[in-house]
Amino acid sequence: MKNDISQQQESKINDSAEQKIGTDDHSANWQQLSPIAILYFTASSFKQIFSNAFYLIPVLALNYKSIIQHPYIWIPSILGLVAILIVFAVLSFKVYRFRLTDNNIEIRSGVISKKHLNLPFERVQNVKIEQPLYYRFSGHACLQLDTAGSAKNEAKIIALKLELAEKLKSQILQHTKQSKPIGESKFASSQTSPSNNTTETTLNTRSLSDLIIHGITSNRIWIFLGGLAPFFDDIATHIGDWANKLGMDFKALFSLQTHSMLEVGLYALSLTILIMLILVSFSVIGSIISFYGYTLNKLDDRYIRRSGLLTKHEVSMRLSRLQMVVRKQDWLDLILKRINLKFEQNSSIENSMNASAATNKIIVPSVKLNECQDLIDDAYPQNKLAQLINQQGFISISKRFIARNIVLIWMPIWIVASLICWFNHQAILILITTTLLALFSGLTVLRWRRWGIAQDQNFIYIRKGLIGVDYYCFPTFKVQQTKFLQTELMKRRELASVKFVLASGALKIPLISQELAFGLINDCLFKVESSKKSWM
């Protein structure tokens, strides 16, 4: 959806930009990809089918015995599917054409529904180079161009020679720089010319041990376990058989007749630890695969993140596109004194594709406290986050938050659950629901303790969390919209909630004093409207 405003701007930008990038060897003609792209098309449609077939897993899990018993059905059907995929990949490759002109890129693709994409360079938000494993031998890479708009306008040139991709990337980024606001572009051009564009300063690298720590602390293994649930029974019997072959007998091992209570307890404990260890190692492997060889570099005003063991990802972001810095610490991170630092940019890109969401954000996994503050200071030199954290400078939210959440959320659930138990003559279960109520009330208190807000001349800082603690810091002028929320009851107690909407998402701070809420919004609107600076 374009409007009059942006079209006006566009034409202006086009005029100024055309002079810069003139003659080029690889322009004007429709080009075909190198045949290695067939591999890419096959792999991507394979991935798509798998992610769609995810919902079928429970069905397959229930029936898989009867499916396995009929190989003459499933073997040909799988072979047929693979054949269709390959044919489709070859066709996709055959119809795919791209063309580069002075300041835009055109891509024609699609076997069944034809697509023709025309993307002017100045609309490009972000340029990423991606190198899947199978491209590494032939030296190819994918060049992905993100736009501020919807996912449909996303361009991906599949299979370019790596050098060409790099060259094109610097060309496009050079182009976006041209279309910066006048004051800034003067500054940039006096400082840097295209020739010294190659000197990148490294801000941060992550060693293997850091990644192992990251794998342990960001353990997402319970999700994986949930997915495995239908197979538990089979897995258990398989493991039992396997252990029997090795000469171990679980039944005898855990029998209280042959062993003492202590022994059985120790066996059980060590078995649990063993399983946990295996599961954690999965998470560690995942972390290493996505973050291996992590470097965060800085080139002029751009941050470039490179990582990946199998598929090498590269994400670059201009500092001016940065919306918010998020500093996350879970409970394990608190113990190990590590932080996950995130640089968040426009989220309309991220929402569009769940798969690449993690690679789009610039995340620095498990950094040490001092490194983290250095990075934040580099991005936002005037921030006072460190002082605020040290001096407890955050303003807490009202204690009524505890009462409100317990009375309005947990109590009704508790009452309903208890009544259900009572009427089903399971009075003993009420004990459990009451314990749960106490637990959730305790968590509410923790949540209240974490929630806080602080503000200085340039930034707003929000602290929240449950057991861990997260800090959000954003420049006040980047706010897109503010919301003031108040119920009649809150009004009587002079309390209010405030929501700040940024291009990277919304942040809410509940139940602060009405005066503070008005002050925050007034100050925020003042800074947005008086600064005249673009949020991009």
Binding site for other proteins (CB under 8 A): 1-6, 8-9, 12-13, 148, 179, 181-182, 184, 187, 301, 319-320, 346-348, 351, 380-382, 457-458, 475, 477, 479-488, 491, 501-503, 505-506, 518-519, 521-523, 525-529, 531-536
Closer by beta carbon to other proteins, 233 or else 529: 529
Of 329 and 383, CB closest to other proteins: 383
Select 330 or 350, whichever has its Cβ closest to other proteins: 350
Spatial separation of the C-alpha atoms in residues 407 and 444, rounded to whole Å: 11
Q: How far apart are CA 172 and CA 296, in angstroms?
A: 20
Complex with other proteins: residue 149 or 230, whichever CB lies closer: 149
Give me the least distance between CB of 3 and other proteins, in Å please.
3
Shortest separation between residue 268's beta carbon and other proteins, angstroms = 48
Whole-number minimum distance, CB 519 to other proteins, in Å? 5
| Nearer to other proteins (CB atom), residue 120 or residue 240 | 120
Distance in Å, CB of 501 to other proteins, minimum:
4
Query: Residue 397 and residue 93: Cα distance in Å, rounded?
Result: 57
Least distance from C-beta 515 to other proteins, angstroms?
A: 9
Q: Which is nearer to other proteins, 205 or 522 (CB)?
A: 522
In the complex, the smallest distance separating the C-beta of residue 415 from other proteins, rounded to whole angstroms, is 22
**Shortest reach from residue 392's CB to other proteins, in Å:** 22
**319 vs 369, beta carbon nearer other proteins:** 319
CA distances from 303 to 27, 162, 293, 306, 396 (A): 28, 20, 16, 10, 34
**Considering the complex, what minimum distance in angstroms separates the CB of residue 120 from other proteins?**
14
User: Which two three-digit tokens encode residue 464?
Assistant: 């929240």
Q: Where are the beta strands (DSSP E) in 300-426?
A: 302-307, 312-318, 324-329, 338-344, 362-368, 395-396
Q: Mark out the alpha helices in 229-368 (DSSP H runs).
A: 232-245, 250-253, 261-291, 331-336, 347-352, 354-360
Distance between CA 146 and CA 315 in Å, rounded? 11
SS (H, E, C) 105-141: EEEEECCCCCEEEEEEHHHEEEEEEEECHHHCCCCEE
Could you give the CA distance from residue 342 to residue 403 in angstroms, rounded to a whole number? Answer: 33
Contact between 237 and 250 under an 8 Å Cβ cutoff? The reply is no
Give the burial string for 255-273 (b: 16+ CB within 10 Å, else e): eeeeeeeeeeeeeeeeeee
Which residue's entry shows tokens 């989220």? 347
- Single-letter code of the amino acid located at 536: M
Closest CA to 343 of 256, 221, 472, 201: 472
Continuous segment of H or E residues that includes residue 453: strand 452-455
**Cβ distance to other proteins smaller for residue 69 or 457:** 457
Name which of 9 and 48 has its Cβ closer to other proteins. 9
Closer to other proteins by Cβ: residue 380 or 471: 380
CB of 317 to other proteins, least distance (A): 14
Question: What gap in Å lies between CA 377 and CA 372, rounded to an integer?
Answer: 9
Min separation Cβ 243 and other proteins, Å: 52
Q: Which of 164, 130, 134, 133 is CA-nearest to residue 145?
A: 130
